[in-house]
Amino acid sequence: MAPSATGRKLVIVESPGKVRSIQGYLGDGYVVEASIGHIRDLPNPRDLPAELKKGPFGKFAVDVDNGFEAYYVVDADKKKKVTELRRLLKDAPELYLATDEDREGEAIAWHLHEVLKPKVPVKRMVFNEITKEAIQRAVTTTRDIDQDLVDAQETRRILDRLYGYEVSPVLWRKVRQGLSAGRVQSVATRMVVERERERMAFRRAAFWDVEGDFAPGGGGQAFTARLTEVAGRRVAQGRDFADDGTLTAKNVAHLDEAAAREIATAVMATDVMVTDVAEKPYTRRPSAPFITSTLQQEASRKLRMSSKNAMRVAQRLYEGGYITYMRTDSTTLSEQALTAARQQARDLYGAEYVPDSPRRYEKKSKNAQEAHEAIRPAGDRFRTPAQVAGQLRGEEFALYELIWKRTVASQMADARGSTATVQLGGELPDGRRVTFAASGTVITFRGFLAAYEEGRDDDERAARAAADEERRLPKLSVGVGLDTLRAEAEGHETKPPARYTEATLVKALEEKGIGRPSTYAATVGTIQDRGYVRTRGSALIPTWLAFAVTRLLEEHFTELVDYDFTADMEESLDQISRGDLGRVQWLQRFYFGDQSRHTEGLSELVEDLGEIDAREISTIPLGDGMVVRVGRYGPYVEEVAPAGVDPVTGEVPEGAQLPETPRRATITDDLAPDELTPEKARELLEVASDDGRELGQDPDSGRAIVAKAGRYGPYVTEVLSPEEAELKGKAKIKPRTASLFKDMDLATIDLDAALQLLSLPRVVGTDAEGVEITAQNGRYGPYLKKGTDSRSLETERQLFSITLDEALAIYAQPKQRGRGAAKPPLKELGEDPVSGKPVVVKDGRFGAYVTDGETNATLRKDDDIETLTPERGFELLAEKRAKGPTTRKRAAKKAPAKKAPAKKAAKAATTTTAKTAATKKAGTKKTASKKTASASGDGS
């Protein structure tokens, strides 16, 4: 329980992680408490009071016909927190709302004000970093709640509710139950799908060139050059080919293997000399300080952090007072930060590494939102990584070091040097002229590179450019003869567009102006959690489900997944946040359309969908008569036309025909969409229709025993006779089936091993009371069974080797339930600052968790035990304590529903207030007759 606020000013922040630091900076005259994020939100319509379900709030918890008024309720797990805040406010002389300085933070402050209804002066306290100077400055320079920012956040929330509740049900009906659509997630999914489509349509093209090693006559420094021209024609490179494999460049020499090898051989006998030397200055400027998106990208490239994990670690650094606010679109640094960065660069690297005047990065990203600084080390004087090494460890230290390096480097001098390009020429024995070229960069002054160099995305062209840097060429002049030390033909293939990684997807979203940097981590996480995207290494691969969903949205909600339209929505939200556009006016146009512009709104789009062929929308053609269908139980490949059918005329090859029942095969998750070619699809069909490898006959039953590959792995089974198969249909006889052990190979298993597997379960013997003990292989591994008492075995081989005495010895031991004997902790985190008790990480029934012996908190999805810091463990426990104990609801018989008295209903509406007209700007109201339907799941 929080201390009394009698006579002390109440400060409410968002996160429990900030409380201790801010309390220390403000002193005893204040009491600091956390709201733990939002305290109320739009409810699911099914949770509305009965008297409201049939009213204007019944469909969305938003009255779309009357100014898009929102009906909010306090979250069930926040009621205790609200009660606590009211108690603290009761005796406080002033209230400071110190939530984050962005739209969400402003909205949280407004909701706190609406729910707490303070009767004392209220001040909006904002800060960009949690340092003593910043907090003390913020408490003396307060402002009012910015209603425009609140409007922008509420508009975004209502927009996502309308989008999700209108579009998601269409996906449920036409693709699969439980799917969701969202303003940003659907567009991000489309981007990943479009990239995969490009890869599927891509056709590789082969091309060759020649690489040689040359050195000035007399044993000078050797260098490598590449063939660029043959007989006056440029040698074709990968950029000269279209994605379909055709050569698009004109008048280029497209070398095949034979031609390249011929040139390589001839060059060895050719006199080569320098024909041109060009040298020019090289200058490279440092990158701007981090904003949210660039931090996520660099953390992914250099630290292998997911976007979500990078933001979580940054949040802890911010709350600990190590960095400034980590949700920002601005590259601007304050005067104090400029001075600190320049002074630190001067102290560490020397005066020549700092330019005469500060570097100012005023340019913001498209649709930049808040007026924060860039992400930088906190304070008026930065702490070096060495100074925080004793306080930060693991990911926190690595991310702080990255931010520190980027900030300091942004105020350092340019890297300088020179780039030299050399051209070599020679005449082949057949009279053709050949030209080779080499280039290299020599850095003469490293400048900012002494502190930091930006990472590169995995790209062949970028890798080649990086290799050219720092490559030194010997001093050469025109006419100098060269010795040819090596000449080799090299073959290449064009490569399909690279799949998105988290870093490149975030970069693409930012470039298109879609979403907000602060939401990118959540967006990337959402499209993975929804089953639209999975990862292979760092690459994002769309699932076939994403193909079906994207196709439906593209064909029937074209504008909603249009990149420009989505970016325009962000611009509109910015206009609302600046007070240049009314929220009601914009929502009216989005939902009901604009007759003056002849544009349809979302409601009309949903009503005028017409007939959607669910089977067709979930079908993805592969070509050559093969398609992928997204079915109820997952994707599968199906043959819809004979092999070789003409894709234009539909002409079927002579003698080709489809079986009466189309062949189908399940597609496993390890096969990416671009890897499923028509040839691969037919291979899957052949495997699926394969009756298996016959191992021999069971000497007892005379049935054939076969080994097959199944959906859930390899197995052996017996083949029933036609007469037995008929009985099987009547459920009177079933073939024996057994999965192969983990150490068995489908290709080498023999009849004896198969019969042994089919003999399971095996009777081990009986106990003293005559109860039979059997050894069986189950879903969770091998085990013994005696009546209803089961005991696990250590290995599958024990199923055949365990004796009765060994089995009885196992049953003589006490049965271990759950996890069995207590296990040692997975990790020790130290003493909790609140309870003072040691905190450890343990392995539980539902996964790893942290505990101090009193409070248990489950680790989140992205929490890695190896890199889990004590601060993160303490944070999880603090959040769990703030939520209070979890209570289980007991099922009870429902009494007949009674109609709530009008007075009681009015009171309920007051405690869960819709946004009142008194605190809103006036907006045009439009009345429209709408059908009411319930939906669950917001878009985002």
Question: Beta-carbon neighbour count of residue 610 at 10 Å?
Answer: 6
Determine the residue type at 415.
A
CA atoms within 13 A on the CB side of 45: 21
CA-CA distance, 480 to 474, in Å (whole number)? 12
Closest by Cα among 665, 627, 623 to 644: 623
What 8-state DSSP symbol labels residue 383?
Answer: P
Token pair of 697 as six digits: 């006959």
Rg of the chain, C-alpha, whole Å: 34
Both tokens assigned to 694:
């016959």
- The one-letter code for the residue type at 423 is Q
DSSP, collapsed to helix, strand or coil, labels residue 746 as coil
Calpha distance 833→281 (Å, rounded): 57
Beta carbons within 8 Å of 325's beta carbon, 6+ residues apart: 100, 101, 128, 129, 318, 372, 373, 375
Please state, in angstroms and as integers, the Cα–Cα distance from residue 905 to each residue in 40, 74, 82, 909, following that order: 19, 16, 21, 6
DSSP 143: B
**Alpha carbon separation from 79 to 31, 115, 883 (Å, rounded):** 20, 11, 9
Place of tokens 């702080």: 400
Tokens, residue 577:
């946040």
Question: b vs e for 126-152, b when ≥16 Cβ sit within 10 Å of the residue's Cβ?
Answer: bbbbbbeebbeebbeebeebbebbbbb
Which residue type sits at 81? K
- Find out whether 639 and 658 touch, Cβ atoms under 8 Å: yes
| Active-site residue, 325 included | yes
Cβ partners under 8 Å of residue 91, min gap 6: 4, 5, 6, 7
Q: What is the DSSP letter of 377?
A: B
User: CB of 532 within 8 A of CB of 549?
Assistant: yes
Distance CA 40, CA 535 (A): 34
Find the catalytic residue in 71, 165, 322, 325.
325
Nearest partner of 407 among 291, 487, 522, judged by Cα: 291
In the three-class reduction of DSSP (H, G, I as helix; E, B as strand; rest coil), residue 8 is classed as coil
Indicate the DSSP class of residue 674: G
Classified as helix, coil or strand, 78 is helix
Catalytic residue numbers? 325
